[in-house]
Amino acid sequence: MFSMEKADKLIHRLEKCMAYPENAGGELYTGIDLGTAYMVLTVVDSMGNPVAGSYRFAQVVRDGVVVDFTGASRILRELKSEIEQKLGIELIKGAGAFPPDTGKSIVKSHFYVCEGAGFDVINMVDEPTAANNVLGIENGAVVDIGGGTTGIAIIQDGEVVYTADEPTGGTHFSLVIAGAKKISFEEAEDFKKHPKNQREVMLMVKPVIQKVASIIKKQIRDFNITSVYLAGGTCCLEGIEKVIENELEIPTFKPRDPLLVTPLGIALSCLGVKTVESRSVEAYY
């Protein structure tokens, strides 16, 4: 049975571990999220308990496509090394993720970035499915609103029965803000994230949120969806769930710190994977 409280507790534990890593020993698994705006690493133990994590602003991916392979690999290696120094152990096994229904070439690029940073990649998972590893939805739609795209997974009886991904995300929010305030994209990104600017940001980007809601509505129209659950860094914007709920006329829920939901779910996807040796990227088709 779904419990937002349970998901929030897991996310809260990860938040604390990102500040003060903890490792009781045993095998560790890393979730690698190559986002459009942020690259996020999360680490869990064999019981699925968060032990560490880190993230960094990075513009190496655009609409799910790795546009700077060298930069992505470098940042990922740096984040990996940072966590390893804090834990005093090498991170070996990991999982990557990709926007759903985006093709083999994109999955391959994400796989090779993870592998190139020194990870034994034992799993690859689409982003909204990863998010549901944390949320634990039995029935409904999981919507991952990232920097460049909006990914959707339809869950029925705990199983993913449909996935889709369309352009429009946080990058589009920042472009609107940059145009409205006549500032640079980087300045718009900073403005968007500041808590005191949330009300003003909402006024400027509400039409983009409505566009996201129209994408969701189109993708769920053939299913009997009675609840929608949000994830992804763009959902950190205060009040975004209310706008989407009003547009869809479907109850819409948001966990604490949506940025961490999918990265944590990617790490959790390693649990239960029996393969010991590194898998070929071709195994995911």
3-state SS of the chain?
Answer: CCCHHHHHHHHHHHHHHHHCCCCCCCCEEEEEEECCCEEEEEEEECCCCEEEEEEEECCCEECCEECCHHHHHHHHHHHHHHHHHHHCCCCCEEEEEECCCCCHHHHHHHHHHHHHCCCEEEEEEEHHHHHHHHHCCCCEEEEEECCCEEEEEEEECCEEEEEEEEECCHHHHHHHHHHHHCCCHHHHHHHHHCHHHHHHHHHHHHHHHHHHHHHHHHHHCCCCCCCEEEECHHHHCCCHHHHHHHHHCCCEECCCCHHHHHHHHHHHCCCCCCCCCCCCHHHHC
138-259: in CATH 3.30.420.40: yes
Q: Report the first-to-last Cα separation within the chain, whole angstroms.
A: 31
For the chain of 285 residues, list the mean pLDDT of each consecutive stretch of 10: 83 95 87 90 95 91 84 94 94 93 86 95 93 94 91 93 91 95 94 94 96 97 96 94 97 95 96 60 55
Q: What is the C-alpha separation between 284 and 125, in angstroms, rounded?
A: 9
Residue 33 bridge partners (DSSP) = 40
Tell me what pLDDT residue 1 has.
55
Tell me what pLDDT residue 280 has.
56
Q: Identify the CATH homologous superfamily for domain 4-130+261-284.
A: ATPase, nucleotide binding domain (3.30.420.40)
Tally of CA atoms within 13 A in the half-sphere of 166 that contains its CB: 12
Q: What is the CA radius of gyration of the chain?
A: 18
Residue 28 bridge partners (DSSP) = 45
Tell me what pLDDT residue 278 has.
46
Supply 24's token pair: 């009781």
In the chain, residues under CATH classification 3.30.420.40 are 4-130+261-284, 138-259
Burial 228-243 (b: 16+ CB within 10 A, else e): bbbbbbbbbbeebbeb
